[in-house]
């Protein structure tokens, strides 16, 4: 059995990624924090797609909780390891910096950037031992271009892109690739409250992306076809910023 872990996998882009990887024959580990109903629905969809999966409920921003959950899974599957990791979980707390509260900066950076360390580090040793792994990090247009009202989110996603490039150099000789994708505006719950009609005027393709369009790129990077691509950040933004 081949296992793939998708953090924040119960909804939106995470769900689309889970279904794409299920189609590639992976058993999907769906991480989520609180929405049991959405997680169960995603698991049912994975099974309808002909694969199987498990639910892993833990807060990626909590290092102790994350480590305990991953160690418990590994102990229950001593003959297996997680060969594909998609660090997708994230939150937004938008505001102009002059009015941004400290907790909104800290929570966004912790959930979007520190979680990369919390989840990735425990899974690296098994990948190194098996000399194979795929790590895909969900960055953002905000991390490549910077967006007003998102100093916290831009800092986190920009840091994630830099960490992607650094880790790729550390583990490349072990046949482990590390890449990021940077979506622009994607029609999910994460863009609720944004003026789609106004924002799409800035996009050369004149529309928001669908979650599955992002998932398709993630699935490619997770495949053996992408074996010589590492340390990259692929923009998926309809030409808004490249």
CA dihedral angle for residue 137, residue 6, residue 94, residue 115, rounded to 10 degrees: -70
Question: In angstroms, rounded to a whole number, what is the distance separating the alpha carbons of residues 111 and 90?
Answer: 6
Res 84: pLDDT: 98
User: Which one is catalytic: 26, 117, 153, 228?
Assistant: 153
Structure tokens at 102: 């400290």
Instruction: Flag whether 139 is in a domain.
Output: yes
Domains: count for the chain: 1
Instruction: Flag whether 207 is in a domain.
Output: yes
Question: In degrees rounded to 5, what are phi and psi of residue 5?
Answer: -105, 125
List the domain range (segments joined by +) for residue 89. 2-236
132 is catalytic: no
Instruction: Flag whether 241 is in a domain.
Output: no
Q: 27 near 9, Cβ under 8 Å?
A: no
Instruction: Flag whether 14 is in a domain.
Output: yes
Instruction: Flag whether 86 is in a domain.
Output: yes
Return per-residue pLDDT of the chain as tens, 242 residues.
899 999 999 999 999 999 999 999 999 999 999 899 999 999 999 999 999 999 999 999 999 999 999 999 999 999 999 999 999 998 888 899 999 999 999 999 999 999 999 999 999 999 999 999 999 999 999 899 988 989 999 999 999 999 999 999 999 999 999 999 999 989 887 666 677 788 888 899 898 999 999 999 999 999 999 999 999 999 999 998 76
Nearest alpha-carbon partner for 128 in 87, 88, 81: 81
Q: What does 144-195 look like in DSSP terms, one character per residue? A: HT--TT-HHHHHHHHHHHHHHHHHHHHHGGGTEEEEEEEE-SBSSGGGTTS-
3-state DSSP call for residue 37? Answer: helix
* Residue that has been written with the tokens 């990021």 in this structure: 180
Instruction: Flag whether 32 is in a domain.
Output: yes
Instruction: Flag whether 204 is in a domain.
Output: yes
Question: In angstroms, rounded to a whole number, what is the distance separating the alpha carbons of residues 237 and 155?
Answer: 19
Lay out the sheet containing 176-183: strands in order across: 53-57, 26-32, 2-6, 82-87, 133-138, 176-183, 233-236
CATH assignment of the domain containing 75 = 3.40.50.720
Instruction: Flag whether 242 is in a domain.
Output: no
């Amino acid at each position: 059995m081949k296992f793939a872990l998708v953090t924040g996998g119960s909804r939106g882009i995470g769900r689309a990624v889970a279904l794409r990887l299920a189609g590639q024959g992976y058993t999907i580990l769906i991480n989520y924090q609180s929405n049991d109903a959405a997680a169960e629905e995603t698991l049912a969809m994975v099974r309808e797609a002909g694969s199987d999966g498990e639910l892993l409920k833990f807060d990626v921003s909590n290092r102790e909780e994350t480590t305990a959950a991953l160690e418990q899974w590994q102990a229950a599957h001593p003959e297996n390891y997680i060969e594909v990791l998609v660090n997708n979980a994230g939150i937004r707390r938008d505001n102009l910096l002059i009015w941004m509260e400290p907790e909104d900066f800290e929570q966004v950076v912790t959930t979007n950037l520190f979680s990369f360390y919390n989840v990735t580090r425990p899974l690296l040793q098994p990948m190194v031992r098996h000399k194979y792994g795929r790590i895909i990090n969900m960055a953002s247009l905000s991390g490549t271009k910077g967006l007003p009202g998102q100093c916290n989110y831009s800092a986190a996603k920009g840091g994630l892109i830099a960490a992607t490039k650094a880790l790729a150099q550390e583990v490349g000789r072990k046949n482990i690739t590390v890449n990021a994708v940077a979506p622009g505006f994607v029609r999910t719950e994460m863009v609720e409250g944004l003026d789609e009609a106004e924002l799409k005027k800035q996009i050369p393709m004149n529309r928001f992306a669908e979650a599955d369009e992002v998932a398709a790129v993630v699935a490619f990077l997770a495949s053996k076809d992408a074996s010589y691509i590492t340390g990259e950040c692929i923009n998926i933004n309809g030409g808004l910023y490249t």
